[in-house]
Structure 1
Amino acid sequence: MKTLPTLGRMPIVLTGPALVVLLVVFGIPIILLFLASLNAPAFSFANYQAFFGQPANIRVLFQTVEISVVATAICLLIGYPTAYLIVAASKRLRMALIVLVLVPYLTSGLVRTYAWIVILGDRGLINNLLLDHGLISSPLPLIYNRMAVYIGMVHIMLPTMILPLVSVMMGIDKSLMAAARSMGARPFAAFWHVFFPLSMPGVRGGSLLVFVICLGFYITPAALGGLGDAMLSTFIASQVKTFFNMARVAATAFILLAVAIVVLSVFGLDLSGAQGRKPQQVQNSWLGRLPSFGPLLRYLGEFLAPRRGKRWVAQLFQAGHESRWSKVVGVLFLALVMFYLLFPEILVVIMSFSAGKYLEFPPSGLSLQWYRSFFSDPSWYAAAWTSIQIGVVVAALSTMLGTLAAYGLSSTLPRLRSFLTMVILTPITFPVIVVGIATYLGLLKLGLLGTMTGIVLAHTIGAIGYVVVTVSATLANFDPRLEQAAMSMRAGPFRTFMRVTLPLIRPGIIGGAVFAFLASFDEVIITSLVAGLSIRTLPLKMWEDIRHQIDPTIAAVATLLILLPLFILMILYVAGWRSTLSLQRARPADAA
């Protein structure tokens, strides 16, 4: 009976179960992996020297960094104006646009890659339309090249760039822009000197997140790229499948990890807002390091001061008006971005109802033949049932461990909280192929390779991070005085948590469980390493069919996976709506 009060006084203990699972499955193995790369206990850099001694390896390394940088830059160039326009829209339109971004974000990356194969393939949508209209005599080489890789990677990662930017931009005080405009600043000057510096945390956070994830890309480059577009993750996977030399594989994995760590260390991953910064911090940023233009700008400022003063008096306290053309351009840009994000998925859904022997657009007739093929083929529905089972267990286990960890972290010291949060989020911030190799080694030591338990543990170490992030965000808005009030009425810690805390943070817990399930259900790379030959999940089955044969049944499977996020969003909406009603009912009691 004394256990709960003790835990209430030591909330850090609640992070213990999550840290133990993380340590056993991932933490200790990655340390052993690093020692193996150094040929412990002899300790030498022979494996690293062997890697850099081959020009082909260096070329693949630089190619990986190049592709990741270019994909990140394209995502930023498209994502920043998209996020800005979403934030500038009305409340209802903003919510609709965010949902439209969330749908592809929650959709399987494998499905979206498959959609681009259908569009860009030699017998894909674009080539078929051009051939049917007589514009070309032979299919254009739209696939298996670098451009196809960029199209697929940017399509998958663009929501990951947009969402952090929207989150930061919505926290920027709009009155600052209005104040700059009322002082005579032109719209672009007000944006560049006020809004853009305050949005830099979103730019930095989104760019680093996209870059690190791109470093570990495996499926999209392998499916859309050619032999000259291989990335280091593909190279590592081929090493595992052909000649499994643990020391060589470990060295290659840690070279990729070193690139990610160096970039994160130099730029720093900070998603927090910039509103609390001191003015000196903005002035000392790179925006203010233009000394060569200082005298010229001051001279022009003095020359134009009288004219600016007259314009300021005339426009004081007048709201800025956007030109008609800027609105038109903004609407067209948003429409193109949403078309780019959603059209591939809509195309797959339409083609899945084709009545022909092959996928075609537009369909010559409507039929459910590919859905019947899915439900009548044991290899398909057995793989789907396996994925559902694993996903449910992973969601339950990671939600329990992640919620306890988030609740414990919310009451710890800030520095310790930051350190432990960084440790828990390691599996989702490291390149996925590195996590897969370390997890493979950990499950090998535990004797769990090729088992359902092993796959569940491998998925759980990453799913815990999603739960911790989601529940922590909910706890950040939770008023601890409600718990204090309950305890003052002689409610114990457990009763207080169940009757007060849990109902109010339920949307975060449900959201964390949903993200954990989706992360498990969509996992391919780690599963391919630890599943062995006896267990086949739905993503593995899809990936094998995409690589060896384009079975039209995949379109039906992809459609079911596209509809899954819509169902998930409905669950999150209902959970949030019920929580809002509970909070509204609690307010009259508080006021009384």
Structure 2
Amino acid sequence: MEKLQKLGRMPVGLIIPAIAILFVIFGVPIVQLFLISVNAPSFSLVNYQAFFRQQENVFVLFQTIKMSVVATAICVIIGYPTAYLIVIASKPVRTGLIVFVFIPWLTSGLVRTYAWTVILGDHGLINNLLLDLRLISDPLPLLYNRLAVYIGMVHIMLPIMILPLLSVMQGIDQSLLAAARSMGARPFAAFWRVFLPLSLPGVRSGTLLVFVVSLGFFITPQALGGLRDAMLSNFIAVQVASSLNLAPIAAAAFILLAIAVFMLSLFGMDIYGTQDHRGRTVRKSWRSQLSSLGALPRYLNEIAIPYRARHWAAQLYQAGSGSSWSKIAGAVFVLLVMIYLLFPELIVIIMSFSAGPFLEFPPSGFSLQWYRSLFGDPSWIRAFWDSFQIGVTVTILSTIAGTLAAAGLARTSPRPRTFLMMVILTPITFPAIVVGVAAYLGLVNLGLIGTKTGIVLAHSIGSIAYVVVIVAATLANFDQRLEHAAKSMRAGPVRTFMRVTLPLIRPGIIGGAVFAFIASFDEMVVTSLVSGFSIRTLPLKMFENINQQIDPTIAAVGSLLTLMPVLWLVALYVTWWRSRLRLQDAPVNSVA
């Protein structure tokens, strides 16, 4: 008993609950899944060979990679200038734009996918508008094709690209750009030579996140695409639902996982910046090899230096005449991106008040009939109640385990901390379908398939990761000398944590709890694999209705789910504001 108490006081002991859940639900099953894929104990590659022998499997695999690459490239092209324009905006505008990026990111991905079925459908917004303007005589086939899938994927992934870019760009010292300008560099040259290289870590992080998540896309290709637009996740899900043979499923899952791990090891494991160093070395050798070709431009550049110096001196203290057009173009670009991110959710809210018998935009009249239908249908109420119960339970479990793990990691030495953090973040860095298959196998071992307990455990492995990330970020700014001071006053570890640490990191804990609830409440891929046929959460109920019938009741559900992120952001802001007031009042009280 004393050994257990000592272990609980050690930093590693705080991490044990989170690691135990991850180990049982994901760690052991993923190893077991790999052994199944290689036909252990005989160990052969027969299942992988069988996968690649079938031409349709290879086609789906390359199509998955291609669609993920294209969606990632579009997100980079749109996300980078958007993040840059947000960063250089004034503080009030920047804060508002960041909130506008957060709202769609926190909104249910299923609701956003459903919104595009409304916009791109035969009787959707675009076709109705073109028909009313008599530009077309028949509806355009905008839905159930590759273009619709790309539109939906980019809409869901764009905030995930923008947010890491914003995090990096806001940390760049703007005085470096001013120094470059003071040395005669033009605005574009200062951006290209100074700002862009410093922002590349954000580009790498955003690109990696978008690509890995895109590999596991399941809902969007099935809801917006045609039969030839399926991705490997759809292939795996169909096999799980229709076959008891786990060997081909395990092989397909590990092929997808191998691609994700390769990308993570290639771009995501470089913590100390060695990759950037190699990148600079490569560019340097590339320039040295082409030095002869660059001699003439450098010579002409030296001739132009005196003219550029006079031009810079003359305009140093004058406003640029062309800057107004660039500002207008930037404002229009950001406005279009915000419309692209927010307008689909607004469409769902408007259509939820439609008085017509089917989905149409603009609505033929105003009515609350679909809200009455929602609250009067026991199946919708039961689905909502099941999701809420599961979400609350996951939130409590994940917040406790994740907070303890974050506290333990903060007190662990760097090398084991890095390894343990990578292990805990595995469920949110691997494709969702792979996590779902592993969780399915783990719950089969425990006999919990089709139970709420099983769904809670399956959701918790991802929710714990979100709590750990957010609480760890809060603890990074926590002064541990406060804990040492409390212990020097003979306060025990529990009392120190409850009276000193907890009040200061409470905003991070609440933020982690909010994200844990959102992740659980919106989860569908893992739930579809482990819920069996007995439990239908709200996302599963919505997805089934979208596939089987376009019931306007879904618009009412979607509008309520769209308003949830606003409530979460308000709650987080109130928590942050109260903690800030508490910290401001603390010095006054101590002096008094």
Q: Do both share a fold (TM > 0.5)?
A: yes
What are the within-5 Å matches in structure 2 for residues 556-571 of structure 1? 556-571=556-571
2:515 counterpart of 1:507: no
Q: Is the 8 A contact 1:25 1:461 kept in 2?
A: yes
Give the drift of 1:242. 2.1
Q: Which amino acid aligns with 1:214?
A: S
Alpha-carbon deviations, 1:327-371, whole Å to 9, x = none?
A: 000000010000000100001100100111112222222111000
Secondary structure at 2:526 match in 1 = helix
Q: Distance in 2 between matches of 1:590 and 1:285?
A: 56
Give the drift of 1:428. 0.5
What are the within-5 Å matches in structure 2 for residues 548-559 of structure 1? 548-559=548-559
Secondary structure at 2:188 match in 1 = helix
The answer for the alignment partner of 1:421 in structure 2 is 421
Give the drift of 1:132. 3.0
Secondary structure at 1:111 match in 2 = helix
- Cα–Cα, structure 1 residues 356 and 312, in superposed 2: closer, same or farther, change >3 Å? closer
Q: Is the 8 A contact 1:4 1:494 kept in 2?
A: no
- Cα–Cα, structure 1 residues 268 and 319, in superposed 2: closer, same or farther, change >3 Å? farther
The answer for the alignment partner of 1:46 in structure 2 is 46
What are the within-5 Å matches in structure 2 for residues 73-92 of structure 1? 73-92=73-92
- Cα–Cα, structure 1 residues 34 and 333, in superposed 2: closer, same or farther, change >3 Å? same
Identify the range of structure 1 (51-60 vs 106-115) with the bigger mean alpha-carbon deviation. 51-60
Q: Which amino acid aligns with 2:256?
A: L
Give the drift of 1:412. 0.7
Q: Distance in 1 between matches of 2:493 and 2:8?
A: 6
Q: Distance in 2 between matches of 1:262 and 1:88?
A: 35
Secondary structure at 1:123 match in 2 = coil
2:306 counterpart of 1:306: yes
2:346 counterpart of 1:346: yes
Q: Is the 8 A contact 2:124 2:361 kept in 1?
A: no
Gaps of 5+ in 1: none
Give the drift of 1:313. 4.5
The answer for the alignment partner of 2:133 in structure 1 is 133
Give the drift of 1:508. 0.6
The answer for the alignment partner of 1:149 in structure 2 is 149
What are the within-5 Å matches in structure 2 for residues 436-475 of structure 1? 436-475=436-475
Q: Which amino acid aligns with 1:289?
A: W
Q: Distance in 1 between matches of 2:545 and 2:43?
A: 43
Q: Which amino acid aligns with 2:568?
A: I
Residue from 286, 289, 293 that aligns with 2:286 = 289
Gaps of 5+ in 2: none
2:243 counterpart of 1:251: no
Q: Distance in 2 between matches of 1:7 and 1:566?
A: 42
Q: Distance in 1 between matches of 2:398 and 2:270?
A: 25
Q: Is the 8 A contact 1:202 1:271 kept in 2?
A: no
The answer for the alignment partner of 1:531 in structure 2 is 531
TM-score by length of 1: 0.96
The answer for the alignment partner of 2:386 in structure 1 is 386
- Cα–Cα, structure 1 residues 282 and 171, in superposed 2: closer, same or farther, change >3 Å? farther
- Cα–Cα, structure 1 residues 286 and 382, in superposed 2: closer, same or farther, change >3 Å? farther
Q: Distance in 2 between matches of 1:455 and 1:283?
A: 47
Q: Which amino acid aligns with 1:299?
A: Y
Q: Which amino acid aligns with 1:135?
A: L
2:263 counterpart of 1:263: yes
Q: Which amino acid aligns with 1:482?
A: L
Give the drift of 1:279. 10
Secondary structure at 1:284 match in 2 = helix
Identify the range of structure 1 (353-362 vs 103-112) with the bigger mean alpha-carbon deviation. 353-362
The answer for the alignment partner of 1:179 in structure 2 is 179
Secondary structure at 1:136 match in 2 = coil
Q: Is the 8 A contact 1:68 1:215 kept in 2?
A: yes
Q: Is the 8 A contact 1:390 1:452 kept in 2?
A: yes
Give the drift of 1:13. 1.3
Identify the range of structure 1 (330-339 vs 136-145) with the bigger mean alpha-carbon deviation. 136-145
Identity score, percent = 68
Q: Distance in 1 between matches of 2:376 and 2:318?
A: 67
- Cα–Cα, structure 1 residues 318 and 324, in superposed 2: closer, same or farther, change >3 Å? closer
Q: Which amino acid aligns with 2:41?
A: P
What are the within-5 Å matches in structure 2 for residues 209-288 of structure 1? 209-268=209-268, 283-284=280-281, 286=283
Give the drift of 1:280. 6.6
Q: Distance in 1 between matches of 2:174 and 2:271?
A: 19
Give the drift of 1:9. 5.9
2:191 counterpart of 1:191: yes
Secondary structure at 1:199 match in 2 = helix
The answer for the alignment partner of 2:26 in structure 1 is 26
Q: Distance in 1 between matches of 2:72 and 2:409?
A: 32
Q: Distance in 2 between matches of 1:392 and 1:60?
A: 37
Q: Is the 8 A contact 1:201 1:271 kept in 2?
A: no
Give the drift of 1:488. 2.1
Alpha-carbon deviations, 1:161-209, whole Å to 9, x = none?
A: 0000000000000000000000000000000110000001100000000
Q: Is the 8 A contact 1:349 1:555 kept in 2?
A: yes
Q: Is the 8 A contact 1:384 1:537 kept in 2?
A: yes
- Cα–Cα, structure 1 residues 591 and 280, in superposed 2: closer, same or farther, change >3 Å? farther
Q: Which amino acid aligns with 1:363?
A: P
Q: Is the 8 A contact 1:8 1:493 kept in 2?
A: no
Q: Distance in 2 between matches of 1:81 and 1:270?
A: 25
Identify the range of structure 1 (29-38 vs 136-145) with the bigger mean alpha-carbon deviation. 136-145
Identify the range of structure 1 (490-499 vs 288-297) with the bigger mean alpha-carbon deviation. 288-297
What are the within-5 Å matches in structure 2 for residues 91-130 of structure 1? 91-130=91-130
Q: Which amino acid aligns with 2:339?
A: F
Q: Which amino acid aligns with 1:368?
A: L
Q: Which amino acid aligns with 2:397?
A: L
Alpha-carbon deviations, 1:472-494, whole Å to 9, x = none?
A: 11111111111122222222211
| RMSD of aligned alpha carbons | 2.1
2:333 counterpart of 1:336: no
Secondary structure at 2:294 match in 1 = helix
Secondary structure at 1:51 match in 2 = helix
Q: Is the 8 A contact 2:8 2:14 kept in 1?
A: no
